Structures are given as structure tokens and as C-alpha cells.
Amino acid sequence: MNLKQMEAFRAVMLAGSVSQAAKQLFRTQPAVSMMISSLEEEIGFQLFERHKKRLYPTPEAEYLYREIEAIFNRIQDVSQTVQDIQNKQYGFLRIGCMPGPSTFFMPNLLADFLEEHPKVQASLQTRTSDLVAEWVASNQYDLGLAEITQHQSQLSLDDRFTLPCCVAIPADHPLAQEEELNTALLDGEPMITLHPDHMIFHDLLKEFENNGHRMNVRLQTRFFIPALTFVERGLGVCVMDLISVDSYQGYASPGKVVFRRFNPEVELNIGIFYPDDTPRSMITQAFAERLRTRLDSIQANHATLLNWGS
């Protein structure tokens, strides 16, 4: 029994006659009759009886029809699945993300993506940048967002992003009147920083020491979003990345914190990571493009983020 025979039999069962089935299949009536006859010969039992120029299915035909209809329903399901895959509406996306962007930035981006792709499933896990890179390399994530270290030179230029840091200051602080801040203006000023094992802390401390100024660390946090609560309360200033600034401005109201340019530049270098030897699904590519566009936008809108609330 082949698919064409099953298709002809199903059409006769649905249409009630060979002539109508032939029209639906865009075939001649003799061709359809021949397929039904060859099917009966192959399976060894009669499918239809003719009475007064009408066809009547046998009980065996009724049973066979239910089985064949289930097959065609499954074929339709597969066809719909193929269409969903083509339209990037089906798949499972595994994402690893460094701590800072995993609080607001990545969840908001992923939520927007899932709303547009309702059949897509996703997993979002927060890990250190080193673990994100390691787990992506071992194919435990389809995509990762993490800081770039010197030995990770395999990333393409399109997947690398250099984001300058700026200074978060209490809105009523005297330094809020400055357009640009430097280590001299922040000399001895209470600061909220990341822990010493983070590259931004290392680069920031280096700038203070090179310029002969003192970095007065009052509070340390693992990432920047909690630091902004301390800035709001007037406990210090914080040199932070633009993703954290963008995230904060997405949920907070202007009036408590302002952001100012920092010179010399301290930068956050991040990248989009993929498994090396595994083809990327269309869903992964679509989400990566969304992520890339969003990071490019933050990079391009540096001045807008600094003018927030003005």
C-alpha cells in the first residue's frame, strides 16, 4: 500500500463516489478506479460494494479509513510543524547569561521574543561569564551573553560589543552639576563598586592609581543593579555599564539618580557566544539578531541614556 493508493481511497470515502474523488484529486475517473482496484488486490479484501450505481464502503473499509485518516492528520501536523519551523515559530532555545543583564535586560528581551513566537520554548540561566563561555562550548547552551576575556578571540566582530561606563550619582549630589566626571573629581568620594575579581573594578582602580587619586570603596556588589539602590539612598556614586543603566531606566522613575560621562573611559567588553561545532537553529539565529540589534542600540544611544530625566 502506497500513499497514492491511500489518498485515492480516502478521497472516495470522503466524496462518496469515484467521479467526485477524481475531481478533487485532479485525476481521471479510470485512474482513481484503477488505484482502488489495485489496493483491493494488494490487501486481499473488498473495500466497496456497488448498489444502484452508488458505492457503499464495507465494514473493513470503514476500519481502514479510520487508520488512514489518522495518518493523513499526522502528515498535516508535520506539514504545520515544517511551516512553523520555517516561520521561526517552533523550537527550544537555551540561553546562558552573565549576572548583570540577566536581571532585567535579558528577561525583557526574551519575553518580547517569546510573545512573537508563541510555540517556542526557552531556558534562561544565570552564570558567571567564565561558566557561560564554558557551558556554551560544551553545547549546554545554544547562545550565551558574557564578558570577553583576552583568550576568547574566536568571536566575530559582529558578536563583540564595547560599552563605555558612566557614573551614577544621587540627583541631589553636587557632582550632578558636572557634565563629565574623572578620577580627580571622584578622589576620595564614597563609591559603590563590583568585587575586585571583576575587570571593571580592576580597570577603574588602575585609572585612579595612574592619575594619583584615591578610589574610596564603601560598598561592593556582585553586579550593578543592586548598587543603584545604594546610589538612590545617597550612599555613594558608581561607575557602571550602559546595560545596567538601560535596565534601571526601564523600571525606575527619573529624579533620584542621574548619569554622567566618565573620562578616562572604562569599558565593558561583552560578546554573544555559540557552540563551535554545532549548527545554529533558525530560532537561535533569530534571537541572536534581536540581541545584537538591542546591544547596538544601547551602544548608539549612549548620549540618550546620559540625558535621562533632563
* CATH code, domain with 253: 3.40.190.10
Residue 128 is predicted with a pLDDT of 92
Q: What angle do CA 55, 61, 63 make, to 5 degrees?
A: 145
Q: Are residues 55 and 149 in the same domain?
A: no
> Domain check: are 133 and 170 in the same one?
no
3-class DSSP state of 58: coil
Q: Which residue has the cell 549576572?
A: 99
The proportion of the chain whose per-residue pLDDT surpasses 70, expressed as a percent, equals 95
Q: Which residues pair with 50 in a beta bridge?
A: 55
Number of domain units in the chain: 3
Question: Is residue 116 one of the residues assigned to a domain?
Answer: yes
- Cβ atoms of 222 and 99 within 8 Å: the answer is yes
pLDDT in tens, 153-165: 678 889 999 999 9
Q: Are residues 244 and 95 in the same domain?
A: no
Mean pLDDT of 258-270: 95
Q: Kindly give the residue spans of alpha helices, DSSP state H, lying in 91-183.
A: 105-116, 129-137
Q: What letter would DSSP give residue 171?
A: T
Strands 267-273 and 143-147: antiparallel
Range of the domain at 180: 163-268
Q: What are phi and psi of 64, to 5 degrees?
A: -65, -35
Mention every residue, 6+ apart, whose C-beta is less than 8 A from residue 169: 175, 176, 181, 231, 237, 257, 258, 259, 260
Compute the distance between CA of residue 250 and CA of residue 149 in angstroms, rounded to an integer: 29
* Same domain membership, residue 228 and residue 190: yes
Claim to verify: residue 167 and residue 154 sit in the same structural domain: no
Q: Let me know whether 63 and 123 are in one domain.
A: no
Do 217 and 276 belong to one domain? Answer: no
Work out the average pLDDT over 67-82.
79
Would you say residue 87 has pLDDT above 60?
Answer: no
Per-residue pLDDT of 194-240, as tens digits, reads 999 999 999 999 999 999 999 999 999 999 999 999 999 999 999 99
8 A C-beta contact, residue 249 and residue 255: no
pLDDT at 63: 86
Buried b / exposed e across 125-145, counting CB within 10 Å, b at 16+? ebbebebbbbbbbeebbbbbb
CATH number, domain of 54, equals: 1.10.10.10
Q: Report if residue 307 sits inside a domain.
A: no
